[in-house]
Amino acid sequence: MDSVEKKFLKLGAENAPGQEGQQNNDVISLIGDKIPGRPVDFSHGDVDAFQPAPGALDNFVEGVQIGGKQAYTEYRGSKEIREITAGKLAAFTDSKIDPEKNLIITPGTQGALFLAMGSVISRNDKVAIVAPDYFANRKLVEFFEGEVVYISMDYLNFTSGAGLDLRQLEEAFKSGVKLFLFSNPNNPAGVIYSPDEIKEIARLAQDYDVQVIVDQLYSRQVFDGHSYTHLAAQNILNPENLITIMGPSKTESLSGYRLGVAFGSSKIINRMEKLQAIVSLRAGGYNQAVLKSWFHEPEGWMAQRIAQHQAIRDDLVTKLRLIQGFQVRATEAGSYLFPKVPELTVTIEEFVKILRIQAGVIVTPGTEFGPAFTDSFRMNFSQDHSAAVDAIERIGKVVEGYRK
């Protein structure tokens, strides 16, 4: 087997969110009948239930009307839009962002993540990632032939903070880790890193000269009783060692426009632009214009959207906890829940297929977020409220057929 074939064997995508259509259906014998109900796809948010933020399409059409200047921006993105966006993100994260040097517009936050990773790591570099964390993190390290060092996060038992094992993090940094990559709020667990955790990450990264990429995709959607700490605002960390990633694909429901931004280290941003030149040239030129409406939603729009999601979270958490043996920590920010299920007679991947076939409910197996999570699945609850609640009932019924 040649080396490129080996590499791609590790890059399986059939269990990735949204790829369920590629799964083989005929290997599982179902216990019990199909359970009727409105299908719910928890693998990602439902942009029909939560419509794109107002103004996006108008800005896109305006971009088309601007013409060539908008179609062919610099690879790092339109200067004008970088200026507008840098101002808004600097205010939001309480950090300094020079739109000429410190920001790049990318095809989605996935694009930002790929470019940032490819700009920092290479063969045999040690990269610390959190377990559990976003499914692509591990795959990215493997694609660039780095070495994954897992840092545990005890999200189920912690209440103040995400539960990152900071001693393990320091040990990893001591052992020569080059990059630490994590999402805040955590995807899939939906928890926020406490001010103390963020300060300690900053201090350790500074002390051990480790570069940090923080994925803050869901950082605008923070629920009542919680506060959010930006790593970019920590003065003890050299800003040239930090990249922050954000984008309007989640709370703002603009995923169909494929937009993200990375900001921070000018050195890494420069490399990201060079890499973008050979990966996809630029984020869609007309699409970039949609960023004009970002952080510029109508008065009250964001507050209402957050309140609606909090209400869904409350009902789902209550319902999930009623299923015998389920454990779940309530989401603090973002739209993910990561329940732990009781012992089953089937693997989590099989259970996920069964749920889809028997109950019309799509979730993502925990193993996408770390090899140890064989007893959990992820749900994005940005869905029609009542359909989501009904789907939990069906999950409860399916579980009974496969309980050990």
**Which residue ranges make up the site for a copy of itself (CB under 8 A)?**
2-4, 7-8, 11-13, 16, 18-19, 21-22, 44, 46-48, 52, 57, 60-61, 63-64, 67-68, 70-72, 74-75, 79, 106-108, 110-111, 114, 119-123, 125, 136, 139-140, 143, 255-258, 271, 273-275, 277-287
Q: Where is 4: in which H helix or E strand?
A: helix 3-9
Q: Closer to a copy of itself at the Cβ: 140 or 210?
A: 140
Shortest reach from residue 349's CB to a copy of itself, in Å: 17
The CB-of-328 to a copy of itself minimum distance in angstroms stands at: 25
Q: Look at the chain and count its residues.
A: 404
Q: Which is nearer to a copy of itself, 254 or 399 (CB)?
A: 254
Q: Least separation, in Å, of the C-beta of 44 and a copy of itself? A: 6
Kind of pairing between the strands at 242-246 and 260-264 = antiparallel
CB-nearer residue toward a copy of itself: 19 or 345: 19
Closest to 259 (Cα-Cα) out of 309, 302, 217, 306 = 217
Nearer residue to a copy of itself within complex by CB, 163 or 365: 365
- Structure tokens belonging to residue 400: 């009974």
What whole-number distance in Å separates Cα of residue 282 and Cα of residue 287?
10
Centre a 10 Å sphere on the Cβ of residue 116 and count the other Cβ atoms it contains: 29
Are 244 and 232 in contact, with CB atoms under 8 Å apart? yes
Shortest Å, Cβ 3 to a copy of itself = 5
- CA dist 207 → 183, 204, 242, 263, 396 (Å): 21, 5, 14, 22, 48
Minimum distance from residue 149 beta carbon to a copy of itself (Å): 18
Task: Return the axis-axis angle of helices 135-143 and 108-120, rounded to nearest 10°.
Answer: 40
Helix axes 166-174, 195-208, angle to 10 degrees: 10
Give the per-residue SS3 of 321-371: HHCCCCECCCCCECCEECCECCCECCCHHHHHHHHHHHHCEECEEHHHHCC
- Beta strand spans in 223-311 (E): 242-246, 260-264
* 121 versus 354: smaller Cβ distance to a copy of itself: 121
- Compare residues 114 and 402 and give the one whose CB is closer to a copy of itself: 114
> 309 by DSSP, 3-state: which?
helix
Vertex 147: Cα angle to 11 and 127 (nearest 5) = 105
Q: Which is nearer to a copy of itself, 25 or 227 (CB)?
A: 25
Nearest approach, Cβ of residue 275 and a copy of itself (Å): 7
Task: Kindly give, in sequence order, each residue whose CB lies less than 8 Å from that of residue 69, ignoring residues fewer than 6 positions away.
Answer: 78
- Tokens for 302, please give them: 């964001």
Q: How far is the CB of 209 from a copy of itself (least distance, A)?
A: 12
Q: Which is nearer to a copy of itself, 273 or 375 (CB)?
A: 273
d(C-alpha 242, C-alpha 182), whole Å: 12
Which of residues 168 and 270 has its CB atom nearest to a copy of itself in the complex?
A: 270
Q: Which is nearer to a copy of itself, 57 or 303 (CB)?
A: 57
| Smallest distance, a copy of itself to C-beta of residue 105, A | 12
Q: How far is the CB of 206 from a copy of itself (least distance, A)?
A: 19
Tell me, what amino acid is at 99? Answer: P
In angstroms, the Cα distances linking 158 to 19, 163, 164 are: 32, 5, 9
Tell me whether residue 123 or residue 404 sits nearer to a copy of itself (CB atom): 123
Give me the least distance between CB of 87 and a copy of itself, in Å please.
20
Q: How far is the CB of 361 from a copy of itself (least distance, A)?
A: 16
